[in-house]
C-alpha cells in the first residue's frame, strides 16, 4: 500500500478491532503509534494536529479501494468529536447484520424511522418501542426488545437517557447518508454545520434547525439572537446552551490550549 508505514498499520488495526474512538482516544492512539515505530511526535500542538490529519489522509487514501474510511463525526449531545471506521460502499442498516438478527434489524429500522419522521426531539420512549415491536412481521417479546436496546446501547448505536432513546454517536456517523437518502423530506440538516440534525433547536417561524452546540457557537455573545436562515431573521426564542458546553466540545487537540489560556487569564 502506498505510503503506509507500520505506525499507520497499528492505527488501522486499532480502528478495525474497536470500530469507534473518541477524540481523546485517537490522540493517545496516534501518540503510541508514533512512539512504537519511531515516527516524529511533534511537541507543537498545531503542527502535530496537521501531521495527524496527514497521517489519517494517507490511511484513507489506501482504505478507499476497500470502500472504507476513517470518518469524523460530531456528537449531537455536546458537540464532541469522535472517529469511526466506516464502510462507504453500503450505508444500509442491513450492514449490521452480522451482529443482529433480521428481526432485530427490522425493529432498529422502525426505531430510526420513528426518531427521524415522527419525533420532534430526536428521541423515542420505551413504551413507543414496545408498540413498534407489535408492527413487526415476527413478533418480539418485551424482554427481547429490552435486551436488544441494551446491546445496541453498548455498541453505541443508540443512547438511552432517563428512559428516552436516541441515536448514538455511531449511528449518526454511519447512518447519516442512509437517513438522508431514505427520509429526504423528514431528515433536517443543521443550518450551521450542514450535518444531519435530529436533536437541537428549531426556529419558531421557519424550518431552520441548529444543533445545541451549533446554536451555542453561532449565538455566543449575542444579546438578541435571530434565526440565521436567509430571509427569516425571527428572534431565536430558545435558551442558548451555556458556553461551557462549547468549551468542552472543542476538539481535544485544542483542550490543552484552552486550559493554558484559562491559566494565563487567572494570572493577570
Ligand atoms: Zn450543527
Ligand atoms: Zn427562521
Dist CA 194 CA 196 (whole Å): 7
Please give the residue that has the higher pLDDT: either 96 or 265. Answer: 96
**Is residue 69 exposed (0-12), middle (13-18) or buried (19+ Cβ within 10 Å)?**
middle
**CATH no., domain 201-258:** 3.30.40.10
Q: How far is the CA of 195 from the centre of ligand 1 (A)?
A: 6
Q: Which fold has domain 93-182?
A: Arc Repressor Mutant, subunit A (1.10.10)
- For ligand 1, the distance from its centroid to the CA atom of residue 264, given in whole angstroms, is 31
Query: Counting ligands in written order, which one lies closest to the CA of residue 217?
Result: 1
Tell me if 93-182 shares its fold with 201-258: no
Query: For the residues 2-30, what does the mean pLDDT come to?
Result: 93
Q: 141 pLDDT exceeds 90?
A: yes
Give the pLDDT confidence of 219-262 residue by residue, as tens digits.
988 889 999 999 999 999 998 875 444 444 444 334 333 443 44
165 C-alpha vs ligand 2 centroid, how far in Å? Answer: 28
CA 167 to centroid of ligand 2, rounded, Å: 26
| pLDDT in the model for residue 249 | 42
Distance 193 CA to ligand 1 centre (A): 4
Question: Do residues 217 and 246 touch, judged by C-beta distance below 8 A?
Answer: yes
As a whole number of angstroms, the distance between CA 91 and CA 112 comes to: 14
229 CA to middle of ligand 1, Å?
13
146: its cell numbers: 429490552
Q: What does the mean pLDDT of the chain come to? A: 87
Which bound ligand lies closest to the C-alpha atom of 230? Answer: 2
The number of the ligand nearest the C-alpha atom of 73 reads: 1
Q: Is 221 left (phi over 0), alpha (psi -120 to 50) or beta?
A: left
Cα-to-centroid distance, 192 and ligand 2 (Å) = 13
Q: Determine the distance separating the centroid of ligand 2 and the alpha carbon of 204, expressed in angstroms.
A: 6
Greater confidence (260 vs 82) lies with: 82
**Residue for cell digits 489506501?**
62
Q: DSSP 3-state helix, strand, coil percentages of the chain (rounded to 5)?
A: 50, 15, 35
Distance 248 CA to ligand 1 centre (A): 16
> pLDDT tens across 92-124, in order?
777 776 789 999 999 999 999 999 999 989 999
Query: Facing residues of 160 across strands?
Result: 165
Confidence bin at 10 (pLDDT 50/70/90): very high
Domain residue limits, the chain:
6-66, 93-182, 201-258
Tell me how far apart the alpha carbons of residues 253 and 243 are, in angstroms, rounded to a whole number: 18
Neighbouring C-beta atoms of residue 143, cutoff 10 Å: 8
pLDDT, residue 246, reads: 43
pTM score, whole prediction: 0.79
Which ligand lies nearest the alpha carbon of 225? 2
Amino acid at each position: 500500500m502506498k505510503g503506509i508505514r507500520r505506525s499507520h498499520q497499528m492505527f488501522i488495526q486499532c480502528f478495525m478491532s474497536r470500530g469507534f474512538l473518541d477524540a481523546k482516544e485517537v490522540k493517545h492512539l496516534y501518540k503510541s503509534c508514533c512512539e512504537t515505530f519511531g515516527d516524529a511526535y511533534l511537541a507543537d500542538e498545531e503542527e502535530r494536529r496537521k501531521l495527524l490529519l496527514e497521517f489519517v489522509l494517507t490511511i484513507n487514501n489506501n482504505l478507499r479501494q476497500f470502500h472504507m474510511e476513517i470518518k469524523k463525526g460530531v456528537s449531537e449531545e455536546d458537540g464532541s468529536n469522535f472517529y469511526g471506521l466506516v464502510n462507504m460502499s453500503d450505508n444500509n442498516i442491513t450492514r449490521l447484520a452480522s451482529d443482529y438478527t433480521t428481526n432485530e434489524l427490522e425493529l432498529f429500522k422502525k426505531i430510526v424511522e420513528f426518531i427521524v419522521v415522527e419525533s420532534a426531539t430526536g428521541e423515542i420512549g420505551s413504551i413507543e418501542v414496545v408498540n413498534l415491536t407489535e408492527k413487526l412481521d415476527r413478533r418480539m417479546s418485551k424482554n427481547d426488545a429490552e435486551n436488544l436496546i441494551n446491546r445496541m446501547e453498548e455498541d453505541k448505536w443508540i443512547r438511552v437517557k432517563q428512559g428516552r432513546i436516541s441515536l448514538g454517536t455511531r449511528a449518526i456517523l454511519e447512518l447519516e447518508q442512509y437517513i438522508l437518502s431514505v427520509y429526504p423530506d423528514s431528515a433536517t440538516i443543521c443550518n450551521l454545520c450542514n450535518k444531519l440534525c435530529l436533536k437541537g433547536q428549531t426556529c419558531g417561524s421557519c424550518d431552520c434547525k441548529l444543533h445545541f452546540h451549533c446554536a451555542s457557537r453561532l449565538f455566543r455573545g449575542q444579546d438578541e439572537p435571530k434565526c440565521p436562515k436567509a430571509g427569516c431573521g425571527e428572534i431565536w426564542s430558545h435558551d442558548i446552551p451555556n458556553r461551557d458546553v462549547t468549551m468542552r466540545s472543542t476538539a481535544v487537540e485544542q483542550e490543552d490550549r484552552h486550559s493554558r489560556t484559562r491559566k494565563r487569564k487567572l494570572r493577570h
